[in-house]
Structure 1
Amino acid sequence: MTSEPARPGRTKYVLFDVDGTLIDAMSNQRRVWGTWAQRYGLDADEVYQVALRTRPMETFAQVAADQDPRECLAALHELEDEDVRSGVYAAFDGALDLLQGLPRGSWALVTSNYEHRVRGRFLRTGLPVPSVIVDAAAVEEGKPSPVPYLQAAARLGASPESCLVIEDAPSGVRSGLSAGMTVWGVNGAVAVEGVHRHFDSLRQAVPHILAFASGPHGNAAA
């Protein structure tokens, strides 16, 4: 299902990260990177720890500097695409209620992954798909640059100060903050540095996100 374009006069918008925020993909990511590491004779746990902190090309430079990074990336993409087709995915508790409860045209996805994978995962988990998805191919600078979130706001016709970013990772939080947006963190026992509010789970955040999106009033950072 695809949501409709933004309605005239909307004043509040919500921009979501995907992996770790709406979709629980940690075990999938670990499995993909583990298989990739085996192909290159590398320690899977060590590779995954680097991959958690860096983008793929930076990961390859650290753990497989003697390999062609383009071949490394092609192998990773092959494994990720296969995982979308055959892996087991789950949406975080509250994700479906939240996305179905948001006003149409009031939200977007901002992901470091690729749109076709996001659509595949949303199809597998039954989540609705918005009209705006900003993926890795849509921007030259990924998170923690503000560019991805600024592009999403522009495509929604929203000002940065009217946007609420929902994130789980430090790079995404920095991206939203540097874009001049309100940023809330979810799905972590400890708050990511800089967030305006933190919730241990997405489910906890659902009523607050819906309240933010329902109208122009209220203090998002409270």
Structure 2
Amino acid sequence: MRRGRAIGLLIAAVLFLALALQPQLFAPLLALLNDPGQQIIYDRQPLAMLVLWHVAVVAAAETAAVITAVALGILVTRNRGGDLMTLARTISNLGQTFPPIAVLAVTVPIVGFGFEPTFIALYAYGLLPVFENTVAGLRGLPPATLEAARGMGMSKPAILRQVELPLAAPVILAGIRISTIINIGTATIGSTVGAKGLGEVIIAGLQAGNQAFIAQGAILVALLAIIVDGAFRLFER
């Protein structure tokens, strides 16, 4: 089973790199989607460069979301932080309450077009899965294990670092994986406000009625999500 997943991940990575670096190799297949005379390969920006921009905004937003959500999860699972659960959950739910496109509409007049509003939208959208899994992971630890750590004379910070977080790590990582996969797809809407990324290819295809453009962008986003998901699962194990 693991070998099959590893092979599938390798195939997805090879296809992803080939389409990003040498898209002309797929021209005969993509031509089947278009009417005769339509442009087949998107060439306004190198696809590899758009991939890098797409990964950059997702990575930046996800890093900020993970730091915030894990910190909130730790805070509300402490004895003195339980009263803040409602507030923390409300903050984490903001991104899910408002669609990303609505967040973009609100933030563009404040921070302008491009990277910044997309970063804010993805940051807000990525909080909830990480927060909920952090809380679930920390609250689901065996009480006997924590009692044994306290019996050994470990301080609360030491128990958190050396016992709680390592034992809760698989659950937390699952939340980070889900959040990242969601944001890889969501990041495509950033191109509606001038952010560079794979959404640019999809939007260009929609505007021109070019199915080959749409396919290039959509396939790259899908393959990127598959690769990241597989890499996280391997790392979790």
TM-score (norm 1): 0.26
Kindly indicate which of the two structures has a greater share of residues assigned to helix: 2
Kindly indicate which of the two structures has a greater share of residues assigned to strand: 1
